[in-house]
A and B are shown apart, each in its own frame.
Chain A
Amino acid sequence: MDCENTRTLIDGYLDGELDLVRALEIEDHLHGCALCSERYNDRQVIRNGFKTESVYFKAPAHLEKRIQRSLRQAAKVESSPRRLPWSWVKFAAPLAAAVIVVLALVPFLRGPSPEEVLTQEVVSSHIRSLMANHLADVPSSNEHTVKPWFNGKLDFSPPVADLANQGFPLVGGRLDYLNSRPVAALVYQRDKHLINVFIWPVSGRKTGDIASASRQGYNVFHWTQSGMNFWVVSDLERGQLEKFVEMQKGQPPATS
């Protein structure tokens, strides 16, 4: 470290802003150089002079009050457009907070919704049908075989659509039990994927929009049409299953 560099860095050294290596180099140089050492001492003297209070202007006592006054005025101006009387907010804020807390807790207090329970039931039923080798009681790709099969087994006749031409051949039908009642289960196939369609009547001739969910990797669609509940479940990719649902919906209502 020479005098030139030391002169450039001496203030950084004085202020403790240099890295350790450079600081040591400067220190080393100062030990051997009277001129730089003198320069350093001068700076120390000046800096120490500044540390005394007489160079520091403290705010006069009245300034704080003056600032506070003007702040209060500014705060009033900023808040006035909203015109919320504080007495009202005092009551409303805790009340609003309590309502939010209660609302947030409701889902936990109530447990899963009926729809949530049914969705899980549908998925379980689908999985069971694949596991227990009990996919179809009436294995047939013919709607005119499957549909009459349900006669006498159910108190309703489910619509059975033939979608073979659209790439969803019928595999068969069976009886199942969902939502505390016997239901019709129709099985369709798309490549290697199997689709269960659960059908049972609703009270009244309601129509409901398609709703969908996804559980354990299975896609679930359900809707209400012509007085029947339709629940479709499969591991088929969502987009394709949605097409299948559209075709099911497009079928004319069963008449029998």
Chain B
Amino acid sequence: MWGEKDKLARFEQIILPHKDAAYNLARWLTHNDHDAEDMVQEAYLRAYKFFDAFRGVDGRAWLLTIVRNTCYTWLQQNRGHEATTLFDEEIHAADSENSNPAVLALQSADRQLLRHALEELPVEFREVVVLRDLEGFSYKEISDIASIPTGTVMSRLSRARERLKQFLGDRMKEKA
């Protein structure tokens, strides 16, 4: 039997170091600092409660699964329109073909623009980009965290990147 003190010490050693990843995901899902902090704190409390069930080797993936669930619950309660409307991939798929901007223009795309582009993505697309490109998780890991098949991970990433490209291209055109 682990004493409560040991449990806390182990938890702080294994899970606490992933606070940046937790905050980054929460921040991208909630869009603002204040809510992101609340989400992270709540997720950590939940994680601590279920820490006895943690068997995996990757504390970061495990924690982010909980952060994601916490954020989604919150999104459903606070921004029903964002998370509860089922995302229709067919409708969103149709928009980006053949409207490609000049590629090289993207090279100079400033970071603010990229950040803005990501913020504009629907939450299901935003999260796979954050998990893949910002956190570097594999498709398999993302499929575990977000509870979706790996094929869906790839197709969502594909759609997400098309949209990002289109967004950036449109802004380039406006500037030019």
Contacts and interface: CB of A to CB of B under 8 A. Distances in A.
B65 to A, nearest CB: 17
B129 interface: yes
Given A17-B138, A64-B19, A79-B4, A70 B45 contact: yes
B12 A60 contact: no
Interface stretch (B23-31, B54-62, B69-77, B81-89): B23-31
B106 interface: yes
B14 interface: no
Contacts of A67: 16, 19, 40-41, 44
A51 B133 contact: yes
Interface stretch (A21-29, A38-46, A201-209): A38-46
B154 A55 contact: no
Interface string B137-176: 0110000000000000011011001001100100000000
B129 A11 contact: no
A10 B11 CA distance: 39
Given A63-B19, A86-B5, A50 B114 contact: yes
B157 A11 contact: yes
Interface of B: 3-5, 7-8, 11-12, 16, 19-20, 22-24, 27-28, 33, 36-37, 40-41, 44-45, 48-49, 100, 103, 106-107, 109, 111, 114-115, 118, 129, 132-134, 138-139, 154-155, 157-158, 161, 164-165, 168
The 4 closest A-B pairs by CB, nearest first: A79-B4, A59-B23, A57-B27, A50-B133
